[in-house]
């Protein structure tokens, strides 16, 4: 099992041709951009390490992928959260449910400030420089594909949370990488880039309005369903819906549209859709 080399498919969405890199299909349990970001920890030996410590939200994709990583590596996994909603405790679902099944020890407290020699601390969302290891491999897969298919003019798009994936992808790709901020605003995203690299940042596409991460918006649900209907691919509701809104608008208005190819990176995250879909159907279908 190598957890790399996802396929690239051609799709048509609203009569525009796109390519999609199916990182959602890397592996049944360990997929998407978290598999890329944590690949360094998967592939290398850490003889002293017995436990991973991280923190973030109780529904996070990174939390789930870390639980899988720890299971594979035989490490304990302590995950710190501010709060676990009581409905989630009573009815475990999605990332929370499966991370617990993979052995995550979830703790409602502040994350410790110091760590022991056998503990590996991974910051929220996997925003760590070690992520560049797996993302360089992703970039090389895209370069090889472009070369084999004689694609010279390519724009690559992927939505950002911490921005780690888009930043390192831009670092290792000879094509322009486009992104949009989904978790914080554009200033937050630029700060995140600056914390890891000095130059060569992805282009941040502007959004039509402000979106609060995790809140429900009718147009995000609609584009998700439209994508599913037209392409048969399920995209994530938290990042991809907003990503596609931004990317589609960019492509529509791009004056050299006919000379370029457009590649969307599917970064997984589908376990998070289970609870999002429940919330959306409750709000808009009842």
Ligand X SMILES: *Cc1c(COP(=O)(O)O)cnc(C)c1O
55 binds ligand X (CB under 6 A): no
Residue 60 annotated to the active site: yes
Residues 117-176 that bind ligand X (CB under 6 A): 125, 159-166
Nearer Cβ to ligand X, position 111 or 196? 196
Catalytic residue among 54, 57, 60, 132: 60
Distant-in-sequence contacts of 69-72, Cβ < 8 A, 24+ apart = 69/30, 69/38, 69/41, 69/42, 70/102, 70/103, 70/104, 71/102, 71/103, 72/30, 72/42
The residue nearest ligand X at its CB is 269
Count the site residues for ligand X by CB under 6 A: 19
Query: What's the CA gap between 8 and 20, in Å, rounded?
Result: 5
Q: Which of 269, 271, 273, 275 binds ligand X (CB under 6 A)?
A: 269
CB of 36 to ligand X, least distance (A): 9
Q: Looking at beta carbons only, is 36 or 155 nearer to ligand X?
A: 36
E strand or H helix at 75: none
Q: In the range 214-253, which residues lie near ligand X by CB under 6 A?
A: 236, 239
What burial class does residue 76 get, using C-beta atoms within 10 Å of its C-beta: 0-12 exposed, 13-18 middle, 19+ buried? Answer: middle
Shortest Cβ 105–ligand X spacing (Å): 22
**Residue 174: how many CB atoms within 10 A of its CB?**
10
SS3 212: coil
Q: Give the residue numbers annotated as catalytic, written as ranges.
A: 60
Binding site for ligand X (CB under 6 A): 32-34, 61-62, 125, 159-166, 236, 239, 267-269
């Amino acid at each position: 099992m190598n957890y790399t080399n996802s396929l690239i498919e051609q799709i048509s969405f609203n009569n525009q041709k796109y390519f999609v890199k199916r990182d959602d299909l890397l592996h049944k349990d360990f997929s998407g951009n978290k598999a890329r970001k944590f690949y360094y920890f998967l592939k290398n030996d850490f003889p002293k390490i017995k436990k991973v410590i991280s923190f973030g939200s109780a529904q996070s994709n990174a939390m789930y992928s870390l639980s899988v990583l720890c299971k594979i590596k035989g490490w304990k996994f302590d995950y710190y959260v501010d709060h676990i909603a009581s409905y989630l405790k009573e009815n475990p679902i999605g990332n929370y449910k499966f991370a617990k099944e993979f052995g995550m020890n979830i703790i409602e407290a502040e994350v410790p400030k110091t760590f022991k020699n056998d503990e590996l601390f991974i910051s929220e969302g996997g925003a760590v420089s070690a992520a560049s290891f797996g993302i360089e491999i992703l970039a090389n897969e895209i370069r090889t594909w472009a070369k084999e298919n004689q694609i010279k003019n390519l724009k690559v798009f992927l939505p950002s949370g911490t921005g780690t994936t888009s930043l390192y992808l831009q670092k290792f790709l000879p094509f322009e990488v486009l992104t949009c901020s989904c978790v914080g605003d554009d200033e937050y995203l630029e700060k995140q880039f600056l914390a890891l690299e000095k130059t060569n940042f992805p282009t941040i596409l502007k959004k039509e309005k402000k979106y609060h991460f995790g809140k429900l918006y009718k147009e995000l649900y609609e584009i998700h369903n439209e994508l599913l209907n037209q392409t048969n691919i399920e995209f994530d509701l938290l990042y991809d819906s907003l990503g596609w809104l931004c990317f589609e608008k960019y492509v529509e208005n791009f004056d050299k549209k006919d000379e370029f190819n457009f590649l969307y990176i599917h970064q997984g995250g589908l376990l998070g859709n289970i609870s999002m879909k429940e919330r959306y159907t409750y709000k808009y279908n009842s």
